[in-house]
Amino acid sequence: MRSSEILERLLIRRPELLACRGAIEAAAVAMEDTYRRGSKVLICGNGGSAADGDHMVGELMKGFLADRGIPEDHRKSFQELWGEEGREIAGRLQRAIPAISLAAQVPLITAVVNDIGADLIFAQQVYGYGAPGDVLVAISTSGNSLDVVRAVQVARVIGMKTIGMAGKDGGRLHGMCEVSIRVPYGQAAEIQEAHEAVYHALCAMVEADLFGRDEE
């Protein structure tokens, strides 16, 4: 299935997201370009949005809906170095879209809170992990979470591409991020439900364009 078909299926199921079509397409292009450059995706958010970031990493770092078998030259190297064991390993490994959930770095987060300040828990990681050409996905139901805003500020200085995911007005993220996905809801739980539908489609679209799909 092509990425365009994946997006159409989302919009048929969730027609209220039609207004997000252009932003979702732009986000997919940004993430695909990042992969092709050998760069990575960083994701941040609080609470349920932190869990959404972890979820996205799970879909990006291994096969989601497509066959992501590793390149033939890597398969040969595994077999040459490790024989039958290497062949078996190569048969199960999958190509990854490099992604890191910044909310998962608990020891580092607590150190930043203690030593620098809670508003910089993601900003410090973006400054340390980020590089020009990387993508930051910033998730906040209000669009105003200060630690997420600070992460975007750092990302823009570094030269990263920024994708914001928020509710209907977008908050501060809407004016700061180059791509702004605003789902048409104002209540946090409804926003998060829509965000899940969006990022599932987004991950599937990126995967389809980069690796192709074996099944619908």
Rounded to an integer, the average pLDDT of 140-150 is: 98
Angle ∠(143,39,174) on CA atoms, nearest 5 = 15
Average pLDDT, the chain: 96
Per residue in 99-113, pLDDT (tens digit) is 999 999 999 999 999
**Domain residue spans of the chain:** 3-61+96-211, 69-95
Rounded to an integer, the average pLDDT of 184-209 is: 97
Largest Cα span, the chain: 57
- CA end-to-end span of the chain: 6
**pLDDT of 119 higher than 80:** yes
- Domain 3-61+96-211, CATH 2.30.110.10 — does that match? no
Is residue 183 within 8 Å of residue 157, measured between CB atoms?
Answer: no
For the chain, give me the number of helices (H) and strands (E)? 9, 5
Would you state the pLDDT for residue 215?
41
Would you state the pLDDT for residue 144?
98
Angle ∠(12,15,16) on CA atoms, nearest 5 = 160
**pLDDT of 214 higher than 80:** no
Would you state the pLDDT for residue 147?
98
Would you state the pLDDT for residue 135?
98
Would you state the pLDDT for residue 216?
40
**pLDDT of 91 higher than 70:** yes
Question: The tokens of 31 are what?
Answer: 């993430």
Rounded to an integer, the average pLDDT of 170-189 is: 97
**pLDDT of 83 higher than 90:** yes
